[in-house]
Structure 1
């Protein structure tokens, strides 16, 4: 336990040093008409997840391939936080990172080529959806913490699929990040470097778990984000919007910006709902179809029925 306390202290020191660097080099998030905040805030606090990945590979060198992949996708995201890059440049680095991940997990040996192609689309899609969901205080940290704790419970109590440090480290990083982000006026935002890196880390863990158990219901650990992301894309397609443009049509954004719900309350609700779903997935001995109907279908129905009533007439 002492080593984890040391890591927590170290993570706090890294965050405080990063704040100094960010202030020195003006790494600041400036609100615009699409933002859910109004104050200038330090961007890129999620760099703590890259530092946690560095600690992970120092402790467990056997994970050097996925950690290198995290750094590839994390560093390009940090650069994108500073200077907006074209989608073509970002996708090249995303493809490289996912390729390394698939090599480490032996995806190319286990599945046919067309399954691997679908895998690329799904993984990159999930990473970007996770990034798009990072729009209010606390949501990325709380949601990631819930998912990681669920994975660690599985890892320690039900099926050991990875060294616990590979989950403890992002859990500790999430807690330290939340100390600065889970506030009415956040000290820092995760930035693309944070949301993309932790998304990649969680996908790595989920893929490893699913491949070792053969149970693909664990993908429902991301069902809350998944429903909000997918249905929002469909909504924007219906409105004939460019789905790659910034917007405020996510359900959580409607709650925060139009209904004026407190951001920390919304983040907590998203996390609690996902926690309940994770409990159902872990403890209910039924097949994937039933778990999907019990967890994800109600979210879809709630989204379709509630969101339109909460929207006000405005321009997006």
Structure 2
């Protein structure tokens, strides 16, 4: 069965649902009001990421019934996605204590990893290495960090949506050229769910994603990457390379704040992209720069890893070094003046 027709339909549903959610947020005063820790200056509705959640989770069982993804992968996406989105939704509407959020995050990660079959052996410097239980432990931490860093990086208009689109479309291109066509459908439909929302979120944003959407995107991308590793170990490196902008900025910022003794659970706006948006006075140049870096720097390296046989560990070092330089240039993790 040809599912190409699903792509514009899913994007249209996401577009419409985001419009409905915007009306709901305005009617119920679910508004993100600017404060000293905000990167925006105008009160803006939030919670629009729920449209991404609903659209993609509706598509997952259809993909499984059509045989385009394994049911075990579908259960990983559905169970972890629902849990993270529900936690984020509750936090958007009130406040969930950090310890309960973290418990939910780890539970969702363990659920996903169970249905994915654990963490696959990886390819390092020419050797296939099975990390065993350490690999499974690493994968749980990786999923929890990825969903949280995605929440941290969702701080200016359009950046989280554009990153998700660039990463997934880039990996779809790699899958197609490398002969892994069966892996294309899930990230491609995910792109359509994000695209409908992005119409309303592109700078200047008319609605924000909210924790429900950002956490959901983070864990979904993590599941995609671990799932791909079972097909080819090199594909995991390609995902890490494509996610480099968010991984480097969030991790560099967190490490610098920890070393300084900051309370890492407190809200801040000291990521490189936030300093950059204040430097340029607008969100759009920074969001478009993220797209540019993904398309013209990270994607070619990820291509080389899969199509030219470049070592993944070496390729990720090459990919990340300029990103670290940019993080330093824009004072990631520095004290705000």
Fold conserved between structures, TM > 0.5:
yes
Structure 2 CA distance for partners of 1:86 and 1:161, relative to 1, 3 Å: farther
Aligned to 1:254: 275
Structure 2 CA distance for partners of 1:166 and 1:109, relative to 1, 3 Å: closer
The Cα of 1:149 is off from its aligned counterpart by 0.2
Q: Secondary structure at 1:107's aligned position in 2?
A: coil
The Cα of 1:4 is off from its aligned counterpart by 2.2
Aligned to 1:211: 230
The Cα of 1:12 is off from its aligned counterpart by 2.0
Q: Which stretch of the first structure deviates more once superposed, 66-75 or 233-242? A: 233-242
Do 1:224 and 1:270's aligned partners in 2 also have CA atoms closer than 8 Å? yes
Question: Aligned pair 1:220/2:241, yes or no?
Answer: yes
Q: Which of the residues 245, 262, 267 maps onto 1:241?
A: 262
Aligned to 1:66: 77
Q: Point out where structure 2 has 5 or more consecutive residues left out of the alignment.
A: 65-70, 122-130
Do 1:252 and 1:266's aligned partners in 2 also have CA atoms closer than 8 Å? yes
Q: Distance in 2 between matches of 1:5 and 1:118?
A: 37
The Cα of 1:150 is off from its aligned counterpart by 1.0
Q: Distance in 1 between matches of 2:286 and 2:245?
A: 12
CA RMSD of aligned residues (A): 2.2
Q: Distance in 1 between matches of 2:314 and 2:322?
A: 12
Aligned to 2:93: 82
Do 1:133 and 1:229's aligned partners in 2 also have CA atoms closer than 8 Å? yes
Structure 2 CA distance for partners of 1:265 and 1:57, relative to 1, 3 Å: same
Q: Distance in 1 between matches of 2:166 and 2:190?
A: 11
1:57-79 deviations in whole A, cap 9, x for unaligned?
A: 34124213421220111111111
Q: Distance in 1 between matches of 2:15 and 2:324?
A: 39
Aligned to 2:250: 229
Structure 2 CA distance for partners of 1:164 and 1:234, relative to 1, 3 Å: closer
TM-score, normalisation: structure 1 = 0.91
Aligned to 2:160: 140
Q: Point out where structure 1 has 5 or more consecutive residues left out of the alignment.
A: none
Do 1:133 and 1:225's aligned partners in 2 also have CA atoms closer than 8 Å? yes
Do 2:13 and 2:196's aligned partners in 1 also have CA atoms closer than 8 Å? no
Do 1:161 and 1:208's aligned partners in 2 also have CA atoms closer than 8 Å? no
Q: Which of the residues 13, 21, 24 maps onto 2:24?
A: 21
TM-score, normalisation: structure 2 = 0.85
Aligned to 1:307: 330
Do 2:120 and 2:226's aligned partners in 1 also have CA atoms closer than 8 Å? no
The Cα of 1:157 is off from its aligned counterpart by 2.4
The Cα of 1:109 is off from its aligned counterpart by 9.1
1:30-80 deviations in whole A, cap 9, x for unaligned?
A: 111000111111111111221122222341242134212201111111111
1:70-117 deviations in whole A, cap 9, x for unaligned?
A: 011111111111111111111222122112211121007976323222
Aligned to 2:43: 40
Query: Residues 154-303 of structure 1: matches in 2 within 5 Å?
Result: 154-160=174-180, 162-184=182-204, 186-215=205-234, 216-218=236-238, 219-257=240-278, 259-275=279-295, 276-283=297-304, 285=308, 286-303=310-327
The Cα of 1:161 is off from its aligned counterpart by 6.6
Q: Distance in 1 between matches of 2:115 and 2:181?
A: 14
Q: Distance in 1 between matches of 2:245 and 2:21?
A: 31
The Cα of 1:223 is off from its aligned counterpart by 1.1
